[in-house]
Structure 1
Amino acid sequence: MINYHMIGITDLPKASTFYDSVLAEIGASRSHNSERYQFYSQGENRPLFAICIPYNEDIATAGNGTMTALSAPSKEAVHAAYAKAIELGAVCEGAPGPRGQFGEFAYFRDPDGNKLCVSYLNR
C-alpha cells in the first residue's frame, strides 16, 4: 500500500550523512535524489523512505505523534541501527528490545527531531 514515506529536514547534506550511516545498518542505501531530497531503498518493489527540504521552504518540523517505522532484516540490525543513530546524535525514545509478542523495536529522534522506529517483526 505504501509507495514511500517522506520527512522534512533542515540540512540535506547533514541529514543525508546521518541517514546513509543509520539506514545502511538495515540494508538500505541511496536510490535517487535532487537538490531538495534524498530517497533510500532496501531493494526493488519495496517502499521507499525519503528526506526533503520542504517544498514551501518553511522550517521543517517533526510531527508530534508522527513516527516512521523502518523494517530491519534481523534483531541484530535493529540494535546496530539504533547504536549508529545514537552515535550520530540521535536522541533515545526507547532503547532496543522486545515489545510484547511483536518483535524487536528501537526508537529515536533524528537531529531534526523526527521520530523513527527500527523494527524486526516476529512473523
Structure 2
Amino acid sequence: MIGYVTLGTADLTKSAAFYDALLGTIGAKRFMEEAGYFIAWSKGDNEPSIAVSVPFNQQPASVGNGTMVAVYLETPTQVKDFYNKALELGGTCEGKPGFRPDDSTSGFYAGYFRDIDGNKLNAFCMVQ
C-alpha cells in the first residue's frame, strides 16, 4: 500500500551518508536523486522506498509530531542489527529492540530510533 516515504533534512549530505550506511545493511540502494534536493533508496524495482529531501518550500525541515516510518525486516536479529547501526551512525534511541507490548504474545518485535535530523523510525518484524 505504501509506495514511498519522504523525510525532511537540514543537511542532505549528512543525511545521505546516514541512510547510505543504514539502508545498505538491508540491501537498499540509491535509485533516484536530484543534486542538492533529494535522494531515494529502495531494495528493488517496484519496491517501497525511503527518501530524504530538503523541503520544497525552502523552509526549515522539521519532524512531524506523531509521525514515524516503520521498516519491515524478517527477524529479531535483523531488527537489533539495524537499530544498533542507526545508533552507531548518530541516531538516538527511542525504545530498545524488544516485544511490544513487553511480552511475546503479540509477535510484534521492534526497535525505535531517531535519525540525525530527529525523524522517528522503527525497525520491526513479526515473530510467529
TM-score (norm 1): 0.92
Gaps of 5+ in 2: none
Greater Cα radius of gyration, structure 1 or 2: 2
Matched, 1:69 2:70: yes
Q: How many equivalent pairs are there?
A: 123
CA separation in 1, counterparts of 2:98 and 2:67? 21
CA separation in 2, counterparts of 1:102 and 1:12? 36
CA separation in 2, counterparts of 1:19 and 1:79? 17
SS in 2 for 1:40: strand
- 2:125 pairs, out of 103, 120, 123, with 120
SS in 2 for 1:92: strand
CA-to-aligned-CA distance 1:76-117 (integer Å, 9 cap, x gap): 111111111111111100001122423321100111110001
CA separation in 2, counterparts of 1:92 and 1:99? 16
Which is further off, 67-76 or 97-106? 97-106
- Letter paired with 2:65: N
SS in 1 for 2:109: strand
| 1:27 Cα offset (Å) | 2.5
Which is further off, 18-27 or 5-14? 18-27
Find runs of 4+ consecutive structure 1 residues off by over 4 angstroms: none
The alignment yields a C-alpha RMSD, in angstroms, of 1.4
Matched, 1:103 2:104: no
SS in 2 for 1:50: strand
Seen in structure 2, the aligned counterparts of structure 1 residues 117 and 31 have a Cα distance that, compared at 3 Å, is same
Gaps of 5+ in 1: none
CA-to-aligned-CA distance 1:23-82 (integer Å, 9 cap, x gap): 122232211111211101022221111110000111000011110101123221111111
The percentage of aligned residue pairs carrying the same residue is 41
CA separation in 1, counterparts of 2:74 and 2:39? 22
